[in-house]
A and B are shown apart, each in its own frame.
Chain A
Amino acid sequence: GAGVSQSPRYKVAKRGQDVALRCDPISGHVSLFWYQQALGQGPEFLTYFQNEAQLDKSGLPSDRFFAERPEGSVSTLKIQRTQQEDSAVYLCASSLLPGRSPFFGQGTRLTVV
């Protein structure tokens, strides 16, 4: 298990439902990023953690989106009252130190119906 692990791989949610997406970064990695990738588009930045501190959340599209990394390792991205426009692949990435090249997980494909 050397890579970034995300779960679930696929999630179908009914509109209005809350969802939680999990990211297990590479062990010991300080930096953790969340990205959102719509179909046919490049990934777009959502938020960044350095250890347990959320240093940048400028990319979160609304206050329905919330991310945490309470112990500086596993991170959870939570989306409340999901909408159809939230349908996307959510990617997590981690890097050993700030500024180093991040490694990406396979993503969680969220479909809101």
Chain B
Amino acid sequence: DAKTTQPTSMDCAEGRAANLPCNHSTISGNEYVYWYRQIHSQGPQYIIHGLKNNETNEMASLIITEDRKSSTLILPHATLRDTAVYYCIVRVGNNNAGNMLTFGGGTRLMVKP
């Protein structure tokens, strides 16, 4: 799976949008971009994933650049409970394979009041 690069840490004011960037310049055509987050003392939680189109769900939006070499996860109105480590992962989207998620170091997002 392609390697991803994320900032080590970021701060965000409560109520503001949190924009978390991720570089994946070596992504292949059949690899999806996944985002998970891990709140302290919990297991990772799925947020969203996409291939090339922008995606939105109740948790977040995912913006993928046209060349697919980078993406941004957007939390539109960050709350204190969004403080967590956010992992950007690229993964082959083959429904016949049990491809594991390869986690990097992630971005530690601190939402401040």
Contacts and interface: CB of A to CB of B under 8 A. Distances in A.
Q: Do A and B bind each other?
A: yes
Interface of A: 4, 31, 33, 35, 41-45, 48, 50, 55-56, 59, 91, 93, 97-107
A44 B104 CA distance: 9
Interface of B is mostly: loop
A101 B34 contact: yes
Interface of B: 34, 41-46, 49, 85, 87, 93-106
B39 to A, nearest CB: 10
Contact of B98 (A35, A42, A50, A101): A50
A48 to B, nearest CB: 5
Contact of A99 (B43, B93, B103, B105): B93
- Most B CB within 10 A of own CB, among A4, A35, A102: A102
17 contacts: A31-B98, A35-B103, A42-B104, A42-B106, A43-B101, A48-B98, A50-B98, A56-B100, A98-B94, A98-B96, A98-B97, A98-B98, A99-B94, A104-B44, A106-B43, A107-B42, A107-B43
B95 A97 contact: yes
Nearest to A103: B46
A98 B45 CA distance: 18
A67 B24 CA distance: 32
Contacts of B41: 106
A99 B100 contact: no
B93 A48 contact: no
A41 B87 CA distance: 11
A99 B104 contact: no
Contacts of B97: 98-99
A43 B103 CA distance: 6
Nearest to A97: B95
Given A48-B100, A107-B43, 4 more contacts: A42-B87, A42-B103, A59-B100, A99-B93
Contacts of A91: 43-44
A88 to B, nearest CB: 13
Nearest to B105: A42
Nearest to A44: B103
Nearest to A91: B43
